[in-house]
Structure 1
Amino acid sequence: MTWVELSTRLAHILIVDDEKTLRMMLSHAMQKEGYQVIEAISGEQCLDLCQQQLPDMILLDAILPGIDGFTCCASLRTMFGERCPPVLMITSLNDQESVDWAFNAGAVDYVTKPVHWAVLRQRVRRILQATWAMTELRQTMEHERVLMEQLEIANRELRRLASIDSLTQLANRRCFDEFLHQEWQRLRREQGFLSLILLDIDFFKSYNDTYGHQSGDECLKRVARLIEETIKRPADLAVRYGGEEFAVILPNTPLEGAMHIAREIHAKVELAAIAHAGSRISHHLTLSGGVATIIPSHQSTLEDLIASADEALYRAKLQGRNQIAGQFRIYCSQEKLQASPEPCEPDRCD
């Protein structure tokens, strides 16, 4: 026996008829089929019983005192919507208008009086099987919907994890490459500023040698948090660039604004006063930073921006570390040049 067939055998059927004899005959016929039976003698009682507990099916007489079967059926549909159990109308009316009225009220089928018991049994069985099959289908669809939602959540988490550095929880190098390329293409169309900050912890190898790699990991996490706290705009991206190097991508930001952000990060790290006994320039942890700005064009590449930021970082280290250096290496028009606080190289202007 299938699950649907088993479910129909356990079904609760509400019989609504004011004629005691017919109600008893219907009840006996349904119990003989293995169904559990509830009885009501009026439309009002039917509605009350359904509000307490919905049956699996209703055998409803069309002609009832007070609320007739048609009105009762329509009320059930209004009250319970998709949860409304299937209604089989039992009527002595066999004209087209009454049949249409029954279906318009929400009945799924009807039988006429005098009741043909074999026909009634088959119709009840068919309706219950169809109802339970539909219920099973809805449950399967809902289960699949939930699984799809869970799969989408899992995929989003996998995509997030694929773009996050596991130690610092900043974006990783892969995310850096994708985001920088995306912003390069966009700002090349818009002819907007794109700035990049590269930051390096001074003498970090000595820090690991002095305090151990576990402390070194905690130090990297703390610096990452300080960088993230400084980045205010959702459009900006903080990245663990590699090892003890960090990067910040700042779309629509001229060199002046990028230098301000870099110096703010530098100041926060200084204020944190993280002990660094292995440093050759301070008793506390320090950063060196390089900042570069470019207006993307067809004559330049994003590698130019990275190289410029790297050159600025190298210059900061040559000048004694624990400082920020910046440069505006850009293929630009004179009009754009005037918007920047730093001059570009004359031989690289259009």
Structure 2
Amino acid sequence: MNEDILLTSGMAGAVLDVVHAAVVVMDREGRIVLFNKACQELTGYTVSEVENRYPWDLFILPEETEEVKTVFSKLAAGDFPNNHTNYWLTKSGDRRLVEWSNTALLDDHGAITYVIGTGIDITERSRAERLIETHKIELENLVAERTYKLHKANKKLERMAHKDGLTGIYNRRYCNDTLEREIRRVVRDAKPLSVMLCDVDFFKTYNDTFGHVAGDECLKDIAGIIARTFHRASDMVARYGGEEFIVVLPDISAEEAAVLAENLLEAVWDRNIPNSSSSIADRVTISIGVATIRSDRLFEVASLIRAADQALYEAKNAGRNLVRQRSLNQ
């Protein structure tokens, strides 16, 4: 395209003025030779105010000047088309983010005569995108926070589902699940497994004499004594029903279990919870049935519990505040 045609053609100016995009035409040195209506509306400058001046002297932020000059130099050297985004300063001092698509015009000999920049004001779009991204991050954080809280609540509910509401120790359901796991481990590792069933002696008469509130406090007290006595990570203490408690002791032999059971009897005795309704002592006592098994094949939880229950029955019949024991060989 001939330079005279570009500069003198009213048609070119008219065409550029109806284009919604900002169009700026510069000579090889970077001086502005055409500045369409969209450019004027974007910047607030008139054609006469920008003609023969450099964009970086008028519109470009100081920190972006070198980058824009580099882009222009590449265009003037024949590296076109190219694209870049930068801020333009308006006459009133506002910043507008403009996305540029740049190319060049050549003369009949292939030499670059003009560089043309076509820009779209993406300020509002960019703000909207940033706002969306901010909301997205806030939403992700909110979801993560709610998920974490839900996870904690579920864990709490899970723990509550495993715990006895009165005493705070494990309940019968969790005990049975634990025993199922321990039975598989016993078979796999060929290690002993002992179980204790502990029953509060004369608890019905204790309740009748002192009332249910005192009875509940007594059960909580006994549960605490048992839990403090069996505190290995592998030990499991649970309320098995009413005034009955169970202790699961992995890797504990029959001989060791007998000693531990006697220690528990002594700990309850030493706690000295008054019980004038007892016919064997002036305090609350317990009876304990112990069962121990070592097996190389799977067996039912019920068989181990049944053996401990039979031993407990023997302790009760023998006078209470006693330990009786059974061993299972399978």
CA change 1:218–1:111 in 2 (3 A) is: closer
Structure 1 distance, partners of 2:88, 2:263, is 86
TM-score, structure 1 as length reference: 0.64
Matched-pair contact (CA < 8 Å) for 1:194–1:296 = no
The answer on 1:305 being equivalent to 2:281 is: no
Kindly state the Cα deviation for residue 259 of structure 1 after the two structures are TM-superposed: 1.8
Matched-pair contact (CA < 8 Å) for 2:97–2:123 = no
3-state SS in 2 of match to 1:329:
strand
Q: Which residue of 2 aligns with 1:134?
A: 133
Matched-pair contact (CA < 8 Å) for 2:88–2:96 = no
Structure 1 distance, partners of 2:267, 2:73, is 85
CA change 1:92–1:187 in 2 (3 A) is: same
The answer on 1:94 being equivalent to 2:75 is: no
3-state SS in 2 of match to 1:94:
helix
Q: Which residue of 2 aligns with 1:264?
A: 263
Q: Which residue of 1 aligns with 2:116?
A: none
Structure 2 distance, partners of 1:145, 1:29, is 42
Identical-residue share of aligned pairs (%)? 33
Question: Equivalences for 1:79-118 in 2 at 5 Å?
Answer: 91-95=68-72, 109-110=85-86
3-state SS in 2 of match to 1:223:
helix
Q: Which residue of 1 aligns with 2:326?
A: 327
How many aligned residue pairs are there?
246
Give the partner amino acid of 2:150.
L
Structure 2 distance, partners of 1:187, 1:61, is 78
Q: Which residue of 1 aligns with 2:286?
A: 287
Please give the per-residue CA displacement for 1:257-314, whole angstroms capped at 9, x wherever unaligned: 2222222221111001111111111111111001111013426332221111111111
Matched-pair contact (CA < 8 Å) for 2:236–2:248 = yes
Kindly state the Cα deviation for residue 143 of structure 1 after the two structures are TM-superposed: 0.2
Matched-pair contact (CA < 8 Å) for 1:262–1:324 = yes
Matched-pair contact (CA < 8 Å) for 1:269–1:285 = yes
Give the partner amino acid of 1:178.
D
Structure 2 distance, partners of 1:316, 1:290, is 7
Please give the per-residue CA displacement for 1:98-149, whole angstroms capped at 9, x wherever unaligned: 9xxxxxxxxx932579999795783211111111110100000010000100
Structure 2 distance, partners of 1:113, 1:251, is 77
Structure 2 distance, partners of 1:180, 1:30, is 79
Matched-pair contact (CA < 8 Å) for 2:190–2:296 = yes
Structure 1 distance, partners of 2:146, 2:89, is 48
The answer on 1:221 being equivalent to 2:220 is: yes
Question: Equivalences for 1:1-350 in 2 at 5 Å?
Answer: 61=60, 64=62, 68-69=63-64, 91-95=68-72, 109-110=85-86, 119=98, 122-298=121-297, 300-331=299-330
3-state SS in 1 of match to 2:249:
strand
3-state SS in 2 of match to 1:240:
strand
CA change 1:324–1:113 in 2 (3 A) is: closer
CA change 1:70–1:256 in 2 (3 A) is: farther
CA change 1:275–1:124 in 2 (3 A) is: same
Larger radius of gyration: 2
What's the Cα RMSD here? 3.1
Matched-pair contact (CA < 8 Å) for 1:92–1:113 = no
Task: Select the structure that is richer in strand.
Answer: 2
Q: Which residue of 2 aligns with 1:344?
A: none
Structure 2 distance, partners of 1:149, 1:295, is 43
Structure 2 distance, partners of 1:211, 1:30, is 91
Q: Which runs of 5+ in 2 are unaligned?
A: 1-40, 45-58, 76-83, 99-118
Kindly state the Cα deviation for residue 69 of structure 1 after the two structures are TM-superposed: 4.1
CA change 1:220–1:117 in 2 (3 A) is: closer
Matched-pair contact (CA < 8 Å) for 2:87–2:96 = no
Structure 1 distance, partners of 2:238, 2:139, is 43
3-state SS in 1 of match to 2:321:
coil
Q: Which runs of 5+ in 1 are unaligned?
A: 1-27, 32-59, 72-88, 99-107, 332-350
CA change 1:207–1:70 in 2 (3 A) is: farther
